[in-house]
Amino acid sequence: MEEPSPTPDPPTNQLGSLNDLAHELASLEDLATRGSWRSILDKVSRARSLNLLTSPHDHLIYLSYNVLAFSKLRRFSEASNEIDTLDDFNSSYYKYETYPRLYPNRSGSMIPFSLRFIHAQLPIKLGNRQEGLDRCYLLLKFIREKIKEKESHDLHDSVRIWKRRENSVLNCLIGHHLGDKEFSLSLDLIKDLINRDYLDPVLVSKLGYIQMQIGDIEGAKGSFNSVETMLNERKSDEYFLSEVQFRNLVNRNKALVYLVGKDYVSAVREYEECIERDHTDVVALNNKALCLMYLRDLSDSIKVLEKALERIPTIALNETLVINLCSMYELAYVNHSEIKRTLSNWIVHVAPDDFDASCTRV
Amino acid sequence: MSTAPQGTHSLAFRVMRLCKPSFHVDPPFRIDPADLFVGEDIFDDPLAAANLPPILSTQLSKSMDSSDLTYGNRFLLQHPSDAMGFSGLLLLPQSFGAIYLGETFCSYISINNNSNFEVRDIIIKAEIQTERQRILLLDTTKSPVESIRAGGRYDFIVEHDVKELGAHTLVCTALYNDSDGERKYLPQFFKFVVANPLSVRTKEITYLEACIENHTKTNLYMDQVEFEPAPHWSATVLKADELHPAYNSSTGEVFKPPILIRSGGGIQNYLYQLKLASPDSAQMKVEGTNILGKLQITWRTNLGELGRLQTQQILGTPISHKEVELQILEIPSLINLDKSFSVHLNLTNHTDRELGPFEVRLSQDSVHGEKNVMINGLQTMVLPQVGAFASSDFHLNLIATKLGVQKISGITVSDTREKTFDLLPDVEIFVESD
């Protein structure tokens, strides 16, 4: 068998494709977007046993995919064990400058950031919430130090990337605190984000949802009004949102206010406007179905969800929508096991590896 | 939760509590391509910084292209806040949950025909049965449902404001003609228990402090807590200055921090200053019954789910029938051990007739044990009569027999027939050595 040539040092030359970044990266990426995580495990295992990975960065990227695959498949202990095979993340083994022949003129860490991100959250998934939160906050501190360091060297592109990472970790922390109903803390963190210039209609909308969850309806309305103002004053695509997405966000926020006031008819109307504009708006579809149910129209609420799964399966198929549909089946049919089983069988054929099939409660 | 007779019924009730839905939240493992394909510091290299972004963004848009039928949306971060896992997707209530006094019970009720034949002339009733009463929520007697086809359903939603504690039963009954023309009766029972959400304790002087404790399993957002004073009182709520209201410079808004009482025993205190509405009502003060008013409490939980309670009338400590009142006006600032010191006192007659003569003494109270501050000289001081609504000043010589913080206690005023009018509340003094 021919000795595979080492992947050329990423990207000093003109890049064509992902495969220039790591060995057969395009294939890994393709599997990941299809949700074929078990195939990824196989591919990594094969690449390792056949010694197809030559450079340090190849090994690290493959390891990252492995860790990600285990995590997606909810095999958290294995994900954790995989990370444990590494030295400390900050070890010189994982620095470009340690291999000057392979990476001339490059320095810094070659650890893919997603490894740190997943490593920080694994304890939470393994039942050790405090350890996980501590790691996340330490990661935040690490990121902020990196930002300062890059700023002092005028590395503007790096600063941008690391700030985006800071943003993600903060958002992730808010999600964890919300999940544990630590509302005051979540509010403080999200306001902190907003005040630091990460002002963003999606974020302010989420602030509104948190306020609603608590019961502070007036506060939520205020937040949604800010979002609408941002839409009306919008200058360009500065908010990661397309025009359609922005308008739908505003409509969905309006719908929630109606829903809370028990005006389900108006809420449905808002959601229909969203769906008309963008037939892939799953949040609008799901929430519209719920409103129909609160309007005593169980049959139509079921139809909305079933149709969504039928027409846009790869977008509509998510655990929450399926749980809602199954709850509706349980209410609508005395003998609901049969219809749930049909759904379950369909899911098996269509769903990605990481789909949690226990949500059908079959 | 349901008990239904096993039998040959064509119909069956299905019930689901319809409290507000909740937002689904679950931070996902979603990744930005720049965090997976390359090392974290690679963008330090200007060449990489120039060459990589096009590849990464092409990849991102390819994976998120909905026409391509991929699950990129479960794997890639499209918007930074995707990492929160909080998209606004609503989830139906997954269990009955707890229900508390002051909330509204709402339920979806579906009556299914799971037989192969049509049923006709269905009279449906839904009632709430408690210890004390039976409340009708729905009754189709006047206009029965004509028919429910095989495999069909008739749905309705009922609401009931919960005003009683304890066991409640939702009784659903259907009276119908089945396919054989037989008139059948189907009762089904769904039980639940209503618990007390809050306890309110009050303490009062001319201030009313209310302490609200949350006994529920969720955090309660205090929408409104208002004190409704009784007719002759007025009340003002006293609040601490708000600490650090978060000011959003970008949108120019001030976020008012919500008042949230933690679940399972959290406490929030409210302070009201009470004033008598008019001087005339000072008379009422002496009369005895002292109704101050009541507290109206409105709270919200998940998605604004509303709960409301009103306390019973709150009573003030009965302003005493004090006919005669004893007060200390002045105590010397320096009190030495074993040296006599003089205390300036005042006796006031609150009645509309002349009272007295009086005797002022230190009561021999075994509860307080040995007294360290005693009357120096005659143990009983006699005071002459005092006219209606008049007062009289006098001095009492006391002596302290121990160093440090001591109490003047047990000074009593009574009339010559041993009827005690008033006991001076304990006063602390500091006794120093010479």
Residue B14 to residue A334, Cβ atoms within 8 A: yes
Residue B36 to residue A64, Cβ atoms within 8 A: yes
> Which chain B residues in 30-59 lie under 8 Å from chain A, judged by CB atoms?
31-49, 51-52, 55, 59
- The predicted model gives B225-249 an average pLDDT of 72
Minimum mean pLDDT among A250-254, B27-31, B272-276, B410-414: which range?
A: B272-276
- The predicted model gives B330-339 an average pLDDT of 90
Mutate to test the interface with B, among A76, A158, A164, A304 (most CBs of B within 10 A): A158
B298: left (phi over 0), alpha (psi -120 to 50) or beta: beta
Judge whether B300 and A215 are in contact, CB under 8 Å. Answer: yes
Chain A partners of B10 at a C-beta cutoff of 8 Å? none
Query: B51 pLDDT band (50/70/90 cuts)?
Result: confident
The mean predicted confidence, pLDDT, of chain A is 91
pLDDT at B428 over 70: yes
Q: Minimal Cα–Cα distance from A2 to chain B, Å? A: 26
| Identity of residue A58 | D
pLDDT at B332 over 60: yes
| Identity of residue B124 | I
Same fold, B198-240+259-315 and B324-431: yes
- The predicted model gives A253-261 an average pLDDT of 96
B405–A contact, CB cutoff 8 A? no
pLDDT at A84 over 50: yes
- State in words which class domain B324-431 has: mainly beta
Task: Measure the CA–CA gap between A94 and A9, rounded to whole angstroms.
Answer: 15
pLDDT at A8 over 80: no
Residue A157 to residue B59, Cβ atoms within 8 A: no
Q: Minimal Cα–Cα distance from A3 to chain B, Å? A: 23
- A277-287 pLDDT, tens digit each: 999 999 999 99
Chain B partners of A174 at a C-beta cutoff of 8 Å? 84, 86
Residue B258 to residue A214, Cβ atoms within 8 A: yes
Written as six digits, the tokens of A186 are: 């979540």
- The predicted model gives B150-178 an average pLDDT of 93
Residue A240 to residue B79, Cβ atoms within 8 A: yes
Q: Minimal Cα–Cα distance from A50 to chain B, Å? A: 21
Q: What is the pLDDT of residue A342?
A: 95
Task: Measure the CA–CA gap between A178 and A183, rounded to whole angstroms.
Answer: 6
Written as six digits, the tokens of A265 are: 């008819």
Q: Minimal Cα–Cα distance from A12 to chain B, Å? A: 6
- Domain ranges in chain B are 11-18+92-195, 26-84, 198-240+259-315, 324-431
Q: Minimal Cα–Cα distance from B272 to chain A, Å? A: 24
Task: Measure the CA–CA gap between A54 and A48, rounded to whole angstroms.
Answer: 10
pLDDT at A10 over 70: no
User: Chain A to chain B, count of Cβ pairs less than 8 Å apart?
Assistant: 307
Chain B partners of A165 at a C-beta cutoff of 8 Å? 32, 35
Residue B14 to residue A331, Cβ atoms within 8 A: yes
Q: What is the pLDDT of residue B411?
A: 87
Q: Considering only the beta carbons, identify the residue of A169, A280, A324 that sits closest to B66.
A: A280
Minimum mean pLDDT among A7-16, A240-249, B74-83: which range?
A: A7-16
Q: What is the pLDDT of residue A9?
A: 52
Q: What is the pLDDT of residue B288?
A: 54
Q: Minimal Cα–Cα distance from A312 to chain B, Å? A: 8
pLDDT at B423 over 80: no
| Identity of residue A165 | R
Coil, strand or helix at B105: strand
Minimum mean pLDDT among B175-184, B222-231, B246-255, B289-298: which range?
A: B246-255
| Topology of domain B198-240+259-315, CATH | Immunoglobulin-like (2.60.40)
| Identity of residue B231 | P
Mutate to test the interface with B, among A96, A149, A161 (most CBs of B within 10 A): A161
**Maximal C-alpha separation, chain B:** 109
pLDDT at B277 over 90: no
Task: Measure the CA–CA gap between B277 and B419, rounded to whole angstroms.
Answer: 34
Q: Any idea what the Cα angle at residue A359 is, between residues B87 and A131, rounded to 5°?
A: 65
B85–A contact, CB cutoff 8 A? yes
pLDDT at B431 over 70: yes
Residue B18 to residue A202, Cβ atoms within 8 A: no
CATH 2.60.40.10 fits B11-18+92-195, yes or no: yes
Minimum mean pLDDT among A114-118, A342-346, B405-409: which range?
A: B405-409
- A219-247 pLDDT, tens digit each: 999 999 999 998 888 755 566 788 899 99
B7–A contact, CB cutoff 8 A? no
**Residues of chain B with pLDDT > 70: what percent?**
86
- The predicted model gives A186-196 an average pLDDT of 89
Task: Measure the CA–CA gap between A39 and A44, rounded to whole angstroms.
Answer: 9
Q: Minimal Cα–Cα distance from B273 to chain A, Å? A: 27
Residue B36 to residue A184, Cβ atoms within 8 A: no
pLDDT at A79 over 90: yes
- The predicted model gives A136-153 an average pLDDT of 96
A154: left (phi over 0), alpha (psi -120 to 50) or beta: left
pLDDT at B297 over 80: yes
Q: Which own/partner contact pairs does A167-171 have at CB distance under 8 Å and 24+ positions apart?
A: A167/A193, A167/A198, A167/B80, A168/A117, A168/B32, A168/B77, A168/B80, A168/B83, A169/A117, A169/A120, A169/A136, A169/A139, A169/A140, A169/A143, A169/B83, A170/A140, A171/B80, A171/B81, A171/B82, A171/B83, A171/B84
Residue B41 to residue A107, Cβ atoms within 8 A: yes
- B105-148 pLDDT, tens digit each: 999 999 999 899 999 999 999 999 998 999 999 999 999 999 99
Query: A6 pLDDT band (50/70/90 cuts)?
Result: very low
The predicted complex's ipTM stands at 0.91
Chain A partners of B97 at a C-beta cutoff of 8 Å? none
Task: Measure the CA–CA gap between A248 and A242, rounded to whole angstroms.
Answer: 10
- B365-407 pLDDT, tens digit each: 655 567 788 888 888 888 888 888 888 999 999 999 989 888 8
B108–A contact, CB cutoff 8 A? yes
Query: B321 pLDDT band (50/70/90 cuts)?
Result: low
More confident residue, B81 or A284: A284
Q: Considering only the beta carbons, identify the residue of A150, A212, A352 that sits closest to B71.
A: A352
Judge whether A317 and A340 are in contact, CB under 8 Å. Answer: no
Task: Measure the CA–CA gap between A86 and A79, rounded to whole angstroms.
Answer: 12
The mean predicted confidence, pLDDT, of chain B is 84
Query: A334 pLDDT band (50/70/90 cuts)?
Result: confident
Residue A226 to residue B251, Cβ atoms within 8 A: yes
What is the β-pairing status of strands B104-113 and B22-23? unpaired
As a whole number of Å, the end-to-end CA separation of chain B is: 79
B298–A contact, CB cutoff 8 A? no
- The predicted model gives A8-26 an average pLDDT of 68
pLDDT at B68 over 80: no
Residue B42 to residue A111, Cβ atoms within 8 A: no
Chain B partners of A283 at a C-beta cutoff of 8 Å? 87-89
Written as six digits, the tokens of A85 are: 């095979």
Task: Measure the CA–CA gap between A175 and B25, rounded to whole angstroms.
Answer: 7
Query: B6 pLDDT band (50/70/90 cuts)?
Result: very low
Mutate to test the interface with A, among B1, B6, B23, B45 (most CBs of A within 10 A): B45
Residue B89 to residue A294, Cβ atoms within 8 A: no
Written as six digits, the tokens of A156 are: 């503007």
Q: What is the pLDDT of residue B1?
A: 40
Q: Minimal Cα–Cα distance from A1 to chain B, Å? A: 27
pTM attached to this predicted model: 0.77
A139 contact partners, CB below 8 Å, separation of at least 6? A116, A117, A120, A169
> DSSP per residue over B257-293, as a string?
PP-EEPTTT-EEEEEEEEEESSGGGHHHHHHS--EEE
